[in-house]
Amino acid sequence: MKIGFIGLGNMGAPMAVNLAKAGHKVTGFDTAAPEPDGVIAATSAAEAARDADVVIAMLPNGKILRAVADQVIPAMKTGAVFCDCSTVDVDSARAVADAALAAGLGALDAPVSGGIGGAQAGTLTFMVGGRADAFAAVEPLFQVMGQKAVHCGDSGAGQAAKICNNMILGVTMIATCEAFAMADKLGLDRQKMFDVVSTSSGYSWSMNAYCPAPGIGPKSPADNDYKPGFAAELMLKDLNLSQQAAESAGADTPMGALARSLYERFVEREDGLGRDFSAMLPRFVGRNG
């Protein structure tokens, strides 16, 4: 396939490289990052999109996505698919999809989980919103860039799935960290706490797969001085998006709201910026109660 790829940063560059390695013709554009090996350089987003069967965007936020979509959609050929893999607000995802559909294009919102490691290894999970025919057209590309693609529903459903998942993740990570800090105070050995909780009803991905306590459970960023991994500021971004969506949909999410405010304080007023989101554990310990 001919692919236009807009946004060649930490995630976009390895995704574009994997598509090129699989034999697709990938033309890329980024306002700052250089085109990686195997990706043909375009001088604008519209140029990267012009002949493409599928245009993939991997951009920082909804505002930038809307601006890029305004340039790209008029340049695309009828029947091509605009596939946004960025994590953005549901309203921007739906607005961009509506504009693409009105222009005779297919449109998907397809945010990912799996991080930079997953982008490099081609093991991302895609959560996809949009029509079934557009999903079917792009599915072979999801299989190259990832190992799983779930068609979640109409436009916006992919972003909705992503922020629901990450709201659960933020809340359970905080719960896991505060429980470890409390266990310390109660004189309960961290390894014993892991042995019990990881096989009891308090288990979760945060505890079992990404344990925030160094030296306990499988290897995680806690074992690497809390270098990300999944940076606290990216968790804050996703919690902001989930609260924005909760407000606009009228959903009651008190735990999500509290997780958002704790990560905001951690990133903006404490030492969370640039640290893994599991560094909430030393933060709770450091607060000394």
Residues 221-240 that bind ligand NAD (CB under 6 A): 230, 234, 237
Name which of 59, 57, 63 is nearest 105 in CA terms.
Answer: 57
Residue 66 Cβ vs ligand NAD, minimum distance, rounded to whole Å: 10
Residue 203 Cβ vs ligand NAD, minimum distance, rounded to whole Å: 24
Q: Which is nearer to ligand NAD, 115 or 153 (CB)?
A: 115
Does 274 help bind ligand NAD (rule: CB under 6 A)? Answer: no
Element (H, E) at 107: strand 106-109
Give the C-alpha distances (Å, rounded to integers) separating 1 from 36, 51, 55, 85, 141.
18, 10, 11, 18, 9
- Which one of residues 3, 4, 6, 129 is an interface residue with ligand NAD (CB under 6 A)? 6
162 is catalytic: yes
Q: What is the DSSP string of 52-103?
A: -SEEEE--S-HHHHHHHHHHHGGGSPTT-EEEE-S---HHHHHHHHHHHHHT
- Which one of residues 3, 4, 8, 161 is an interface residue with ligand NAD (CB under 6 A)? 8
Does 12 help bind ligand NAD (rule: CB under 6 A)? Answer: yes
State the greatest distance between any 2 C-alpha atoms of the chain, in Å, as a whole number.
Answer: 66
Residues 162-221 that bind ligand NAD (CB under 6 A): none
Residues 14-73 that bind ligand NAD (CB under 6 A): 29-33, 45, 58-60, 64, 67-68
Q: Which is nearer to ligand NAD, 38 or 202 (CB)?
A: 38
Phi and psi dihedrals of 4, rounded to 5?
A: -100, 130
- Which entry of 63, 77, 148, 162 is annotated as an active-site residue? 162
**112-151 footprint of ligand NAD as x/- string (CB under 6 A):** x--xx-----------------------------------
Q: Is the dihedral of CA 69, 70, 72, 73 positive or negative?
A: positive
Residues 73 and 282: their CA atoms lie apart, in Å, by: 46
Residues 269 and 111: their CA atoms lie apart, in Å, by: 29
Does 9 help bind ligand NAD (rule: CB under 6 A)? Answer: yes
Residues 235 and 50: their CA atoms lie apart, in Å, by: 34
Residue 22 Cβ vs ligand NAD, minimum distance, rounded to whole Å: 20
- Which one of residues 4, 46, 73, 87 is an interface residue with ligand NAD (CB under 6 A)? 87
Residues 10 and 7: their CA atoms lie apart, in Å, by: 9
Q: Which is nearer to ligand NAD, 68 or 281 (CB)?
A: 68
The count of residues interacting with ligand NAD (CB under 6 A) is 27
- Indicate the SS3 state at residue 201: coil
Name which of 273, 49, 56, 45 is nearest 145 in CA terms.
Answer: 56
How does DSSP classify residue 224?
A: G
Angle 231-234-237 from CA coordinates, rounded to 5°: 155
Which residues form the interface with ligand NAD (CB under 6 A)? 6-12, 29-33, 45, 58-60, 64, 67-68, 86-87, 112, 115-116, 230, 234, 237
- Catalytic amino acids? 162
